Structure 1
């Protein structure tokens, strides 16, 4: 029997299950405060019994950003990541987002292939980053 997957907005009660997905996928756990900042862009894949995946999106008024796409390893290759990204893209369009960016680690060949299959193309940008301490 095939389980129906729904893609919906994250709620606080999903936090423990989202943490379990990130842990199983070998990803760092995201603090709850980051997930509730703009919850309409944080989505979960829910089959009614458990969460199978999580994705975070942000929008700064100019560009959307996809962060932290994770699918539980036992649920991979079922179209869940594509479903999460598709729903997030729909929500980006609804708020007038003209472009979406994301980062892929250089050694993640499978991840890069996945994103390219969805139409995301590598850009020649140089990533610069600076950690900020709470006070200086």
Structure 2
């Protein structure tokens, strides 16, 4: 982990990030395309955080802040780099960002069936709130 480098993604990283998510992220999102990720980075250049090791993309997290709540999406670590502290380093960077911005509470989008992710989120101090159910609707322009 000595050569792990955490930074905000730049526009030139976006194709690599999209390819990475196909390997490392569970499930897909309607926003997993070039236009969606470009909009994210254009609106909030520090929201998409990446981890690199030896010049290779090994992890991502989206740390979105809307001025009220802190939202975590797309925490993904390459399968060959899991359980080595990459996810913890990404979450620490996201949480530091939230604190700098004045955020007070983070929430994470986690697939119900992804038990491996549930264990990782619990280990990081997050807990499911059973009384909340997120309802979603894809928006089209």
| Same-fold call, TM cutoff 0.5 | yes
Bin for the TM-score computed over the shorter chain: 0.7 to 0.9
SS in 1 for 2:6: strand
User: Gapped runs of 5+ residues in structure 1?
Assistant: none
Q: CA RMSD in A?
A: 1.7
1:24 match: secondary structure: helix
The separation in 2 between residues aligned to 1:133 and 1:87, in whole angstroms, is: 32
Residue in 2 aligned with 1:55?
61
Rounded to whole Å, the distance in 2 between the matches of 1:119 and 1:34 is 30
Q: Partner of 2:22 in structure 1?
A: 23
Shift of 1:48: 4.2
Deviation at 1:57, TM superposition (A): 1.4
In the alignment, does 2:37 pair up with 1:32?
A: yes
**Cα deviation 1:25-71 (Å, max 9, x = unaligned):** 25533433243121212100012421111111111111100011111
Q: 1:73 aligns with which of 64, 79, 96?
A: 79
C-alpha distance in 1 between matches for 2:140 and 2:108: 24
Residue ranges of structure 2 left out of the alignment (5+ in a row): none
CA distance in 1, matches of 2:80, 2:133: 35
2:46 alignment partner, SS class: helix
32-41 or 105-114, which deviates more? 32-41
The alignment of Structure 1 onto Structure 2 pairs a total of residues equal to 133
Deviation at 1:9, TM superposition (A): 0.8
Conservation of the 8 A alpha-carbon contact between 1:44 and 1:54: yes
Structure 2-normalised TM-score?
0.85
